[in-house]
Structure 1
Amino acid sequence: MGVFDNAKKVPTGVCGLDSLFYDGLQLQNFNEKDSSSENKSRNKEKGLIIMLKGVRGINKMHLAMQMLHGISRSIYSIPGLSKYASVPYFFSLNKTKEDLSDFFLDYLITRQIDIIIRKSASGEDASWKQDILAKSLFTVDRCSEQCVQNANHSVYLPKDYRNCLDKYLCDRIIYYNNRTNALHFLRDYEGDDDDNLLFHRRSDDLTYYWGKGKDNLRFLPQYMRDDFFDVRFNERLSGEDFFDCDNTMYSYSAGQKFQKVLDCLENIEMENAEKQEVAEDNDRDKQNGCSRSWARQYSPCIVIDGFAQLHTDELERLSFPHIEKVLRRLSMVSILVFDERANNITCNADIVIDMRKKEYADEDYAFHELQISKSVFQPAAFGWHKYKIRNCGIEVYPSIHRLLQRRNYMSKILTHTHANILDESYERFMRTERLQYHNIADPNISYDNYQAEKSDREMDLLKEMYRKGKEARLRLTKKIIPKHYATDILEAVLLGGPMKSPLDENCYHTDDRKMHALGSSSRWREYKSVTALIGNPNSFKRFLAIARTFRASKHKEHTLVILFDKEEDEMRRQFICPGFNTYEADFLPCLELMDLSEQDKLDELNSNNKDKRENVYPKYPINNRRCSTCSYKCKLKECCLRCYKYIHFLNVRMGCISADELYSVLKQQINVPYFDGINQKKVSRIVIDDLQKIDYSFPLLKDEHLFLTALVTLCRENDVELQILCDKKAGLTKELCSLADNVVCINRDKADTNSIVLYLERFAEHISPSEIIQYNIDNISELFKCDGADIRLDAIVREEKDEIKEIETNISNTPGQGDTKADSMSNETECFKACIKFKCIGSMKDYWRMKIDIGNTRQV
């Protein structure tokens, strides 16, 4: 195998940056067995050179440091490259060795804490409930001096904080402060003083952590120990003083410093050449002519930072062709950090990353961006991409154009256009099968199974299309909508899942049910649906969305509720199961109030104890006990509490958050699974509450024209169902109606507070042409029922034509003429149930023309 003969890509380790290179860097390949001198010389100069350039103060050094760590770690983990990798080097013309080492160690520690937070959130490793990480990196055997002096703060700490430091790090009760290089505990006020400091890190010397076979890190798992390795900062020639001090103490200029860096690199190259020559001489002495016993060593990554310190004339005098040859012979990847003057030099870098600072003048807001302006030997995403510095380093947020991009899409067009529309591709077969069986078992998506079932699947789809088409034609000609059909459509669009109603008997032969299973159109869908709930304020949109959320919880599906500028405490109280009242009346005995006479007695006893600081007798029901000590198995504790474990809030605070950053956060939430005690499941649903808030509180999202398009694409790519609540007069309403699979429009009757008119403007399962159904729902608060295992519709359903017949029947059956007690009880029960009247309409013009003004409805 050649030194760079590697089929794997090398990740950079920078969050988001690898996505721009389509999963990492591709190193150049060559075959070291070629014995010609010319090829040997060329093979030695195969290192990759990356140039970072931009104005000062945009964190180029931070990015270079992270890339050095990520690239080196990746190379060490690849068997084909690790045996050729030596030690990475970081040279800086304006920063000391101690500063670089401290910054690098801070990055490593925050990275480890970020890892255990992710692992703990997904339930992958239960060991992060103890102190494994904390005792490996911090001196937990004794408190800091500040902690001893401020002993009064210890009352706020958990009693077991010394033994469970990792747990409290994951819960953010304790956090790492890179200013003090120590752990601090959380307070109820903001500030950056030292009164809550707990434990310092074990050492400021990086050698302490990776030296002696990493014995000090022996308690950590291997994948975390691999993050610690030797990095040479500002390496100097043996026996010679170097510039690693403040400029005021030494008279070295930036040009002289760089010359010493170049001398050091040339010295390393000479040492490698001597070792190589000795190894070749030993090989010649071997009589059997075996393969070489030596391996040329390359640094996995070399960084030279601080070219901005050079004067323009010094920068122009540098011989970059010579520098490039030295770096390509020494390192697999080299990173050079320049300022904006890099445009005036002739550096033949393979990859050029431009970094800049940009401002939104209207919003008085600034942010940082980068772009890959040059990329040789590998593809890269175009355009500018935002980035920010977080506690665990720089995070790059790929633009939504990267999310919408389809690689090799144009090359697939010819194949698709020369296939008929029923021809199901292998790619579509895999996606639909995984979507259908993702909660049941791993489907058989082998190519042989695809070929065996291809013709049958095409015929099943064709039969279903024409059967449903025939049923739609019957509804149009007879002008009758079957009751079960209208009910199943409403339940499917509000509560999710495929339609369960059978086809009309006129649409299939009697032996069809024996010979073939009737298909479902959801079987051929490649993604979950996007549903838009649109209506005026206070039109039960959230009520309907909550019903779907609790039904997903019943099926153990996790729902992420995105709140735009909403307080979680306020929203939490609104998340009450709509089927709550359908349980038996006494399932909450703790909420039963006592008799007024008993309450009066308590009031009298309390009034006699006014002199005491606290009332002896609390003013609450005597049977209201703590649930932890209660022996009564009420439904609230045994059943309802489990549903809330599958509902999660993501609160997006108002401000200048960009769509790129928001989608990067969403992808992270989707990729990190939830631990249910036994299994790990990812987010299967996303609910966006109050989309109209974007018009007022999120200027960057409002100006992004592809915001909704990218959101829909993100959910479809990750098989996530999307439900969006939006006001009818919001700025994104038209775009939402155009992109959503299901469009539900809601209008509330101003006279009846418990009634709505619901329009099903679009439904993804429809095959019939332009079918719009209007539902008049009375007593909507009782629309859903919970039977413990599922949430379903619970309503009296009538077609609007049946209303006239019902009125005539009620007139003929006057009270006292044949009414029985059972009939009276039945009529009384129906008064407290939801009632649905439906009909098919031909236009939504009246709904969209109707506007609301300060609570009054007027027609325009």
Structure 2
Amino acid sequence: MAEQLLKRKLYGKRGCNIHSLACKQRSIAEKRLSKKNLTIFVRYFFIRNIYKDITAYMFVKMCQLDDFLRYNKVPTRIEGLDKLLYGGLVIPDNQSLLIVIRGADNTEKNVFSLQLIHEIASTFKAYDDKTNFYYYSDYLKKDYLEDLLLDILIASAIQKLVQLKAQGCEIIGSRFTNSFFDTNKVLSNKLSSSQVSAIPDDYFNEHADEMLCSEALYFNNRTNALHLRILGKDSNSSNEQNVIFPRKYGTLNEYLFGNKEEKEREKGKETNELSYVEKLFGQSYVNAYIEEKFDVSNIVSKIQHVQSNASDLICVNLVKREYLVQDSQEKIRKDVCYLIEELRKYKLSVLVIRDDMEIPEEQADMIIDLKTGGYENFDYLLNYLCIYKSRFQVTALNTHQYKRRDYGIEVYPSLHMYCQQRRYLQRALVYTHSNVISETYQQYLDKSTENEFPNYLDYLAEQPDVERSYFNALSPAAYKKLTLHRVLDIMFINPIKK
């Protein structure tokens, strides 16, 4: 009776096909994703002997941003860094998270901070469409930072496209290339017939995405354009002889909302040039407010007058050397304390400083040190990252190498991280005192395919057969139906005994 009531609640009085119900509910969910009451689907299984393969979809409310942060870590999507954080950042309930990035010159603090703040804001935007992030610098120019952010995002998107191709996905057309670059006209008129003899004139527009994956076309962040690989002594030469498509805009916000002329010409129309890329990778691009200010007090004043949303993020970059002057240190220290108070009003904030600048470390929740150092007796420098402080979560200790790529920072965890892993044995061996030939429930789930719907009852039913097969594999020639204690006695304790 209870089962019939549950079916009626899921399918309705008349009943319906499971697939059609799921499709109908998916369409309803997609319409509501842009609203505050975001929704998800939770797959519900009937665990009954006669209904093992019956599945249904229940339509439930999706957790808001606070609920997501309560039960999940926030991924930084920086290669290697999430491993050091054991999955991502922890932002506790009703508290803010202040991250301090500290480093000397030439440690790529700007790239690291831009990449970090945008990737976290992208996760926040999945739960609140109004998410923005603010980036204030006391020295670096606004145009430089906007161009740097856009270069990182374009190179990162191209890398993801290449990964899709490597996974076996078919890449056709040029919709990806059209999103970032103006493909209406080939810029270069100096391509000789020998350089493009294998590429027809109209081939660029029809197969630009595939050519990006094979690196026949490549993005150069100096010229802000796509170039064609050509024969020459220097294979990395990028100039007017091989330039193909220019970048459409100079800032991320222009890609998302269009420039002033387009806004006036296309009022009421969607102008997001990156909508296709967002759907392709399942990740949103976030509106960025980047400004340059003269000193800390101006930045504090600006933050106080900003009307921000609850999901907005902020980053402040302080790199001026004048903060180190002895006469002004006391004033700067007070201004920094005021700044930290304002940053605490945001759910997540990032403060970038020089390594020789003094701040109240006790007010920071996480401190990430970036530095350079030599390698033994060699004449070159390496970049090192260290999570110096972490208040709310466990992180990997010691230093780890990192490099700057076109798509941002890439961290390479050292062997120290593997030595510090909290669980290097199977969970079953530690918590359930299971024997070594048993298969844990997690291992059973990992063996299942996406089309299968395993449950715990099936796992219990198959467990004896799995143990026997593992035991047989240890010594198939001399396999006998003996107890484990008897086998250990014969093989290890007293090997002479028959």
Judge same fold: TM > 0.5, yes or no: yes
Aligned residue type for 1:61:
N
Q: Among residues 447, 453, 456, which one is paired with 1:447 in the alignment? A: 456
Q: Could you tell me how far 1:337 is from its partner in structure 2?
A: 1.1
What is the alpha-carbon distance in structure 2 between the residues aligned to residue 432 and residue 468 of structure 1? 27
2:350 to 335, 339, 344: 335
Partner of 1:321: 337
Of 155, 172, 183, the residue aligned with 1:110 is 155
Give the deviation of 1:407 after TM superposition.
2.5
Pairwise mapping of residues 308-457 of structure 1 onto structure 2 (< 5 A)?
308=321, 310-313=323-326, 314-317=328-331, 318-319=333-334, 320-329=336-345, 331-342=346-357, 345-346=360-361, 348-403=363-418, 405-409=420-424, 415=430, 419=433, 421=435, 424=438, 426-427=440-441, 430-431=442-443, 446-455=455-464, 457=466
1:184 aligned onto 2:244: no
Q: Which residue of 2 aligns with 1:68?
A: 117
Q: With structure 1 as the length reference, what TM-score do the two structures score?
A: 0.43
Q: Distance in 1 between matches of 2:166 and 2:281?
A: 17
> 1:129 Cα deviation (Å)?
2.1
Pairing partner for 2:215 from 172, 178, 186: 172
Rounded to whole Å, the distance in 2 between the matches of 1:307 and 1:63 is 18
**Contact 1:75–1:300 (CA under 8 A) maintained in structure 2:** no
**Whole-Å Cα distance in 2 between the matches of residues 346 and 219 of structure 1?**
43
Out of 98, 119, 123, the position equivalent to 2:164 is 119
**1:158 counterpart = 2:161:** no
Q: Which whole-Å deviations, capped at 9, do the CAs of 1:63-107 have from their partners, x for residues lacking one?
A: 001001101101111x2xx26x54211111111111111111111
Distance 2:491 2:231 in 1: 59
Q: Contact conserved, 1:4 with 1:28, CA < 8 A, in 2?
A: no
The one of 297, 303, 312 equivalent to 2:310 is: 297
Aligned twin of 1:210: 256
- 1: CA distance between counterparts of 2:112 and 2:363? 21
The alignment status of 1:265 with 2:303, answered yes or no, reads: yes
Q: Shift of the alpha carbon at 1:404?
A: 5.3
Displacement of 1:380 after TM fit?
A: 1.1
Distance 1:13 1:455, change over 3 A: closer
Q: Report the number of matched residues.
A: 402
Q: Partners of 1:347 and 1:316 in 2: how far apart?
A: 18
How many angstroms apart in 1 are the aligned matches of 2:471 and 2:362? 61
* Alpha carbons of structure 1 residues 177 and 465: separation in structure 2 relative to 1, 3 Å: closer
Please, which runs of 5 or more residues in structure 1 have no aligned partner? 31-45, 236-242, 244-255, 273-295, 471-506, 509-766, 770-860
Q: Which amino acid aligns with 1:158?
A: I
Deviations 1:273-326 (A, max 9, x none): xxxxxxxxxxxxxxxxxxxxxxx6342333334255523443443223332221
Superposed CA deviations along residues 165-196 of structure 1, whole A, max 9, x for unmatched, are 11111100110010000111112332434121
Q: Separation in 2 of the partners of 1:225 and 1:312?
A: 47
Give yes or no for contact 1:433–1:443 (8 Å, CA) kept in 2: no
Give the deviation of 1:58 after TM superposition: 0.9
Per the alignment, residue 718 of structure 1 pairs with none
How far does the alpha carbon of each residue in 1:588-646 deviate from its partner, in whole angstroms, 9 at most, with x for none?
Answer: xxxxxxxxxxxxxxxxxxxxxxxxxxxxxxxxxxxxxxxxxxxxxxxxxxxxxxxxxxx
1:198 aligns with 2:239: no
Which structure is richer in relative contact order (CA contacts within 8 A, separation 6 or more)? 2
Give, in whole Å, the separation in 1 of the partners of 2:339 and 2:445.
Answer: 55
How far apart are 1:231 and its partner, in Å? 0.5
CA contact under 8 A between 2:225 and 2:246: conserved in structure 1? Answer: yes
- What displacement does 1:55 show? 1.4
Structure-2 change in CA distance of 1:27 and 1:153 (3 Å): farther
Q: Which residue number in structure 2 is paired with residue 140 of structure 1?
A: 183
Alignment of 1:300-699 (within 5 A): 300-306=313-319, 308=321, 310-313=323-326, 314-317=328-331, 318-319=333-334, 320-329=336-345, 331-342=346-357, 345-346=360-361, 348-403=363-418, 405-409=420-424, 415=430, 419=433, 421=435, 424=438, 426-427=440-441, 430-431=442-443, 446-455=455-464, 457-458=466-467, 468-469=477-478
* CA positional deviation for 1:60: 0.8
- Counterpart contact for 2:113–2:315, Cα < 8 Å: no
Instruction: Kindly provide the amino acid, as one letter, of the partner of residue 310 in structure 1.
Output: Y
**Aligned equivalents of 1:106 and 1:459: distance in 2?**
56
Find the counterpart in structure 2 of residue 639 from structure 1.
Answer: none
**% of aligned pairs identical?**
24
Residue 47 of structure 2 is matched in structure 1 by: none
- Alignment partner, residue 11 of structure 1: 75
Give the whole-Å Cα distance in 1 for the aligned partners of 2:290 and 2:132: 11
Deviations 1:504-535 (A, max 9, x none): xxx79xxxxxxxxxxxxxxxxxxxxxxxxxxx
- Find the aligned partners of 2:443 and 2:358 in 1 and give their Cα distance: 46
| 2:104 alignment partner AA | V
Secondary structure at 2:310 match in 1? coil
Q: Which has the larger radius of gyration?
A: 1
TM-score (norm 2): 0.71
Aligned position for 2:486: none
Alpha carbon RMSD of aligned pairs, Å? Answer: 3.4
Contact 1:4–1:27 at 8 Å: present in 2 too?
no
Q: Look up the match of 1:803.
A: none
Deviates more, 1:4-13 or 1:378-387: 4-13
**Could you tell me whether the CA contact under 8 Å between 2:121 and 2:133 is conserved in 1?**
yes
Q: 2:37 aligns to what?
A: none
Structure 2 letter corresponding to 1:101: E
TM-aligned CA distance change 1:340 to 1:207, over 3 Å: closer
**How far, CA to CA, are the matches of 2:437 and 2:195 in structure 1?**
69
Aligned in 2, Cα 1:408/1:121: closer, same or farther, shift over 3 Å? Answer: closer
What SS does the aligned partner of 2:104 have?
coil
Pairwise CA distance, 1:445:
5.5
Q: Distance in 1 between matches of 2:194 and 2:209?
A: 20
Query: Residues 453 and 322 (structure 1 numbering): CA distance in 2 closer, same or farther, change over 3 Å?
Result: same
1:222 alignment counterpart: 279
User: SS state of the match for residue 88, structure 1?
Assistant: strand
Call closer, same or farther: CA 1:411–1:153 in 2, change over 3 Å: closer
Query: CA offset at residue 123 of structure 1?
Result: 2.5
Q: After superposition, what is the alpha-carbon deviation per residue over 1:765-799, rounded to whole angstroms, capped at 9, x for unaligned?
A: xx989xxxxxxxxxxxxxxxxxxxxxxxxxxxxxx
Secondary structure (helix, strand or coil) at the match of 1:175 reads strand
- Note if contact 1:181-1:200 (Cα within 8 Å) is conserved in structure 2: yes
CA distance in structure 1 between the aligned counterparts of 2:250 and 2:291, rounded to whole angstroms: 17
Structure 1 position 447, deviation (Å): 2.6
Would the aligned equivalents of 2:220 and 2:238 in 1 still touch at CA under 8 Å? no
Partner residue, 1:59: 108
Structure-2 change in CA distance of 1:424 and 1:224 (3 Å): closer
Q: Deviations over 1:88-134 (max 9, x none)?
A: 1111111111111111111121122112111122123x3x3211122
Please state whether the residue corresponding to 1:163 is helix, strand or coil. Answer: helix
Distance 1:2 1:315, change over 3 A: farther
